[in-house]
Structure 1
Amino acid sequence: MQAVVLAAGEGTRMRPLTANTLKPMLPVADRPLVAHTADGAVEAGAEELIFVVGYEADAVRSYFGDSYRGVPVRFAVQAEQRGTADAVAAARDHLDGPFAVLNGDNLYDHAGLAALFDAAPSVAAYRVGDPSNYGVLSTDGDTVTGVVEKPSDPPTELANAGAYVFPAEAREWLDVDPSERGEREITDVLARVVDERSVTAVEVDRWLDVGRPWELLAANEWKLGEQERRIDGEVRGDADLRGTVVVESGAVVEPGVVVEGPALIRSGATVGPNAYVRGATLLGENVHVGHGVEVKNSVVMADSNVPHVSYVGDSLLGEDVNFGAGTQVANLRHDGEKVRQTVKGDRVPTGRRKYGVVAGDGVRTAINTSLNPGVVLSAGATTTPGESVTRDR
């Protein structure tokens, strides 16, 4: 079976982390987000991967090349972002037989994807407490009878998890009319398949739609939690590595460092001396975490530096970020409320009681900068010495 992996979207809700990087190529543990989707497809039995690309397409092409894990790879270009059905239609000339469609910015448990492939035609379903914010599947037993978008009175608790296996005929059913929001939706294709065939709802145990920065944190918490301890790099002196910690070849952990897993220290990174890394933390390639620094439950992307006496908690730092000495991130509201963050101009709840900052590529903070919970620093933003930043910049 062929698997179509959608990886063309710009990821505007993930800004500023996607100012220079395609959302599916953002790091989740030791590989891009979309690679986890591809892994699941390969393990489920995909015989060919077709990546639909658009924005920053060369990054996807470069990473996957002509084959991935022994499976042939092809690419299709969605020149204009006009919806998920339009994206699959861009791959139509490559399709021959039944095919799966997966979102390149979603994480699925791999056993669930294998069950999805075995039950074709099928759609992945995830049971949620409040399905009113999702597309919801109507079912008769395991058979799908319909899909309702964000219903006020949901027919079931089964959210549409955005993974499908379609029959070969669906190749000709992709030219659906635009929806009210002006996009050609894959759910309209699913509705046609439901009318024409018996479609099985396959409930997956775990699913995450990674659309906003705090969901990238959650994705790393998930995948870092699955890794096995491995120390290939250099660990010096009395450094103490506890639990599930991975230190890649070429990384250095200096004396006096304590790392409490799950944590991943990637090749070229240096930690310490006398630093503390804990929670589900990813330190990307060539990252430097220096003396007296604590990093907790955060993602620090490639080539970034937190060199002197700083605290970074529950935060996401893009590439080539530099935090000046004494920069402190606040990650907790004293009123006990969940932290909010601005997404596309709207201040929205993250659902997290502890949540720090999002810093885009190239951010520079001056010495003794304080950053409030939920602050977003756009790519290239700077601060002044001793500044307390309470608003997005």
Structure 2
Amino acid sequence: MRLQDLFINEDLSIKDAIRKLDETAKKILLVTEDKKLKGIITDGDIRRWILKNGDLNQSVSLVMNTSPKFVYEKDVIHAKEILKDKMIEAMPVLNDKEEVMDIIFWNERFSTKFNQQTLENPVVIMAGGKGTRLEPYTKIIPKPLIPIGDTPIVERIINRFNEYGCNEYYMTVNYKKNMIRAYFDDMEKSYSVDYVEEDKPLGTAGSLYLLKDQLKETFFVSNCDILIEGNYSDMMKYHKENNNKITLISSLVHYTVPYGVIVIDEDGSVKEMKEKPEYDYLVNTGMYILEPECLKDVPEDTFFHITDLINKYIDEGEKIGVYPVSESAWLDMGQFKEMENMMEKLGVK
């Protein structure tokens, strides 16, 4: 990738900046004019704008950081120290004319892993479903063990959390549960996996009741067929700082209707024609952060979805938060096409 691929103009729309962030996969864009740095845009800047319900068609000038951290070429020897001190993962390098000459990425330049908050929170993985949309594969093996490359999807999920320090896992199991147990019991691992056995399907939250005496701290919940490429430490920090009872990890999904859409008046006459209109939605990814007291509100031995719990809290005025990630950061394998997309994005066959 060329350095210029990260350059954008301040008149670019926020929506187009999101697309470019996805394309470059560097989590940062440099707002420049004649190579001179005017500001930077990160996925965090975009996230804050989305949470303000800001218009994505507005220009990036509204969200860019106009006082970004940078280093001059003559001082580049101090870049590692600056990045570590300011807790940032990337920083532009300028010459004496204030022109961008390079950008230093911590993960590309230094061998040590970027300093991130270590998490010790438990993780619950919902792995009890039959995965009927992935038949005939799931006639033979349970969905959590379907390989993405040479690694089962559920192990990839655990590995992602494990990178952030999570070592305590609970897996709700039902369909072909013995195969799941056998897989993890036979492997060497640096974490613990406990199983929550459903005698019958209990939905996406019903089985959480069985953990009410075990989970005493804030915990993650994840479906067994998704991967979120995000900063899990930042998600937990956001959840805590906002005193949320539940935080939904959501994805900003862009959708174009592939037809001309007709808008009609009350009398049935055509008011307007919109050719292939575009819409943006915050979509539930299937990953959540919950406070332990939520377990008291899950009914015993009842089919109960986590969305039922969320709607109950919304009705009661409890604080439910949203942490947005980009569309490309949400990898789903719930259906064959989605599974193929996941493998392509992860670069596996």
Q: State TM-score, norm by structure 1.
A: 0.46
The Cα offsets for residues 235-276 of structure 1, whole Å up to 9 and x where unpaired, read as xxxxxxxxxxxxxxxxxxxxxxxxxxxxxxxxxxxxxxxxxx
1:319 matched to which residue of 2? none
Structure 2 vs 1, CA of residues 14 and 84 (structure 1 numbering), >3 Å: closer, same or farther? Answer: same
* 1:170 paired to 2:294: yes
CA distance in 2 between partners of 1:127 and 1:104 (Å): 21
Please give the secondary structure, in 1, of the residue aligned with 2:140. Answer: coil
Residue 337 of structure 2 aligns with which residue? 214
Partners of 2:192 and 2:186 lie apart in 1 by 6
8 Å contact 1:112–1:204 — kept in the other structure?
no
Matches within 5 A, 1:158-307: 158-175=282-299, 183-194=303-314, 195=316, 197-205=318-326, 206-223=329-346, 225=347, 282=349
Distance across 1 between alignment mates of 2:297 and 2:188: 29
Deviation at 1:161, TM superposition (A): 1.1
Structure 2: where are the runs of 5+ without partners? 1-120, 258-278
Amino acid in the other structure paired with 1:31 = T
CA distance in 1, matches of 2:335, 2:216: 34
Structure 1 22/213 Cα, relative in aligned 2: closer, same or farther at 3 Å? same
Matches within 5 A, 1:366-381: none
Mapped pair 1:128 → 2:247: no
SS at match of 2:337: helix
Instruction: Tell me which amino acid in the other structure corresponds to 1:210.
Output: M
Structure with the largest fraction of strand: 1
Classify the secondary structure of the residue corresponding to 2:175: coil
Q: Deviation of residue 198 (structure 1)? A: 3.1
C-alpha change, 1:159 and 1:78, in structure 2 (3 Å) is same
Is residue 115 from structure 1 mapped to residue 270 from structure 2 by the alignment? no
CA shift in 2, pair 1:158/1:64, >3 Å: same
| Higher RCO (C-alpha 8 Å, min separation 6) | 2
Secondary structure of the corresponding residue to residue 123 of structure 1: strand
Indicate the residue corresponding to 1:95 in structure 2: 215
Between the aligned partners of 2:256 and 2:156, the Cα distance in structure 1 is 25
* Helix, strand or coil at the partner of 1:211: coil
- Which structure has the highest helix share of the two? 2
Deviations 1:24-60 (A, max 9, x none): 1101012101111112222234241001111111222
Amino acid of the structure 2 residue aligned with 1:127: L
| 1:27 lines up with 2:152 in the alignment | no
Task: Number of aligned residue pairs: give it.
Answer: 200
Distance 1:78 1:166 in 2: 21
Partner Cα distance (2:222, 2:233) in 1? 13
1:176 CA displacement: 8.6
Identity of aligned residues (%): 26
1:199 Cα deviation after fit: 3.3
Partners of 1:176 and 1:188 within 8 A in 2: no
Q: Choose from 163, 166, 180 the match for 1:43.
A: 163
Aligned counterparts of 1:81 and 1:123: Cα–Cα separation in 2: 23
CA distance in 2, matches of 1:119, 1:128: 21
User: Are the equivalent residues in 2 in contact too, given 1:45–1:114 (CA < 8 A)?
Assistant: no
Q: 2-side partners of 1:52 and 1:69: how far apart?
A: 19
Give the aligned partner of residue 195 of structure 2.
Answer: 75
The alpha-carbon distance between structure 1 residues 106 and 72, as it changes in their structure 2 partners (threshold 3 A), is same
Aligned-pair CA distance for 1:211: 1.5
Question: SS of the residue aligned with 2:123?
Answer: strand
Structure 1 residues 193 and 164: CA distance shift in structure 2, 3 A: farther
The CA distance in 1 between the partners of 2:256 and 2:311, in whole Å, is 19
1:23–1:57 Cα change, 3 Å: same
- In the TM superposition, what is the alpha-carbon distance from 1:209 to its structure 2 partner? 2.7
TM-score by length of 2: 0.51
State how far apart, in whole Å, the 2-side matches of 1:175 and 1:45 are.
Answer: 31
